[in-house]
Amino acid sequence: MLAAFACAHPVQAGDVAAAASNKPTVVVIGTGGTIAGAGKSSTDTSTYATATVGVDKIVQAVPELAAVANVRSEQVFQVGSKSINDDLIIKLAKRVNEVLKRDDVAGVVVTHGTDTLEETAYFLNLTVKTTKPIVFAASMRPSTALSADGPLNLFDAVVTASSAEAAGKGVLITMNDEIHTARDIVKTNTFKTDTFRSPYGPLGYVVEGKVLFYRNTARRHTRDSEFDIETIDRLPRVDIAYSYSSSDAAAYNAFAAAGTKAIVNAGTGNGNVSDSLVEPLVAIRSRGVFVVRASRTGSGTLYRGPSFKDDDKRGWIAVDDQTAPKARLLMALGLTKTQDVDALRALFTRY
């Protein structure tokens, strides 16, 4: 029957070329992660090896992509995202930037692990100067698992990267039918497929191959950012210290001794600093190390209450609503531009 159908409806080479030319070209860049993972059993949803399947095979496993775009793929590196470092995110950002300069490329999809996706995506959101869509796709389950979420997340990412409506919205993430902005998204659960959340909600959804946007991002990103990946080859060291009851200055002093340029304090509640840490942090700041106040809660703006009244005198910086990992990246980028504390403070309300 199939042979008869083929004879009755011959497809000419010109028809194929015309169909291909009418579809946008999307480049899928692989970096590893669970979406590139495999388990021994189909019921292994949490026990598996990450970063074992090449991006070309990931793309081939979703033939429906061919109906959406002309998809090319390339592997930039292959690691579990728990092992991502500054050198790798710079390498990725530079490659994405190069690919998007091509006139024939409409957008880029990055396959990535979920552990540090929010950091990598945010870095690209701040440094890749383009209006073309950059969309991250990931999964919480390996491709070998029952009800694997990777294939649909990848399909939704390619649909979004192919959409003219996604242009100019900065770096996006498609997970669990939702479209999120890299600025806001946070991983909130160790195993659930709806782990990624934004405190202000998703920008939109992908429903059966259709992109639906309901809001835009408000802060600077990509094309309008003052940071340019073409001028960045390395980042200054910035560390994060987590505050807890009975915490002391040991970690802060160790980071300072190791040569850090700034310490982000993931403080309790409203980015609070315990009484016992005030003098040690003042001393660390006097040694030229910047102190940045963030919150360990995971969301919420830092309201400038009484505990912030001496920040200017101490030379401390407070974030707006950035999580500690994102504050680390923004601070590191800021330090590539300036050492002025007021200019650095302004970054957190600008981005």
- Give residue-wise pLDDT tens across range 135-185: 999 999 988 888 899 999 999 999 999 999 999 999 999 999 999 999 999
**3-class secondary structure, 290:** strand
Measuring CA to CA, which residue among 236, 308, 321 is closest to residue 278? Answer: 308
DSSP 340: -
Asked whether 35 and 112 are in contact (CB, 8 A), the reply is yes
- Give residue-wise pLDDT tens across range 77-91: 999 999 999 999 999
Q: What is the DSSP string of 67-128?
A: GT-EEEEEEEEEE-GGG--HHHHHHHHHHHHHHHTSTT--EEEEE--SSSHHHHHHHHHHH-
pLDDT of 45 reads 79
CA distances for 250 relative to 241, 256, 280, angstroms = 10, 10, 10
Q: Is 56 annotated as a binding residue?
A: no
- Provide the token pair at 251: 């970690």
Whether residue 17 is predicted with pLDDT greater than 60 in this model: the reply is no
Average pLDDT, the chain: 92
∠ CA(76), CA(333), CA(175), 5° rounding? 50
Please give the residue that has the higher pLDDT: either 48 or 225: 225
CB atoms within 10 A of CB 344: 19
Alpha helices in the chain (DSSP H): 2-8, 13-21, 55-60, 86-100, 117-127, 150-161, 250-257, 275-286, 311-314, 324-335, 341-350
Asked whether 306 and 334 are in contact (CB, 8 A), the reply is no
Q: Region of 239 please: left (phi>0), alpha (psi -120 to 50) or beta.
A: beta
Active site residue 50: no
| Residue 200 CB partners (closer than 8 Å, separation 6+) | 184
Asked whether 344 and 338 are in contact (CB, 8 A), the reply is yes
Q: Which of 25, 34, 120, 144 is catalytic?
A: 34
What gap in Å lies between CA 335 and CA 327, rounded to an integer?
A: 12
Q: For residue 48, what pLDDT band results from cuts at 50, 70 and 90?
A: confident
Whether residue 93 is predicted with pLDDT greater than 50 in this model: the reply is yes
The overall pTM is greater than 0.75: yes
**Lowest mean per-residue pLDDT among 45-59, 106-120, 209-223:** 45-59
Q: Is 52 annotated as a binding residue?
A: no
pLDDT of 7 reads 37
Q: Is 81 annotated as a binding residue?
A: yes
What gap in Å lies between CA 166 and CA 212, rounded to an integer?
A: 10
Single-letter amino acid code for the residue at 239? D
Asked whether 156 and 162 are in contact (CB, 8 A), the reply is no
∠ CA(67), CA(69), CA(72), 5° rounding? 120
In the block, residue with structure tokens 């669990």: 176
Q: For residue 4, what pLDDT band results from cuts at 50, 70 and 90?
A: very low
Q: State the DSSP H helix or E strand holding residue 213, giving kind and residue range, or none if neither.
A: strand 210-213
Measuring CA to CA, which residue among 172, 162, 174, 133 is closest to residue 67? Answer: 162
Q: Which of 114, 160, 222, 260 is catalytic?
A: 114
Active site residue 217: no
Domains in the chain, start-ordered, CATH in brackets?
A: 10-224 (3.40.50.1170), 237-350 (3.40.50.40)
pLDDT of 20 reads 58
| Residue 331 CB partners (closer than 8 Å, separation 6+) | 238, 262, 264, 290, 292, 317, 344, 347
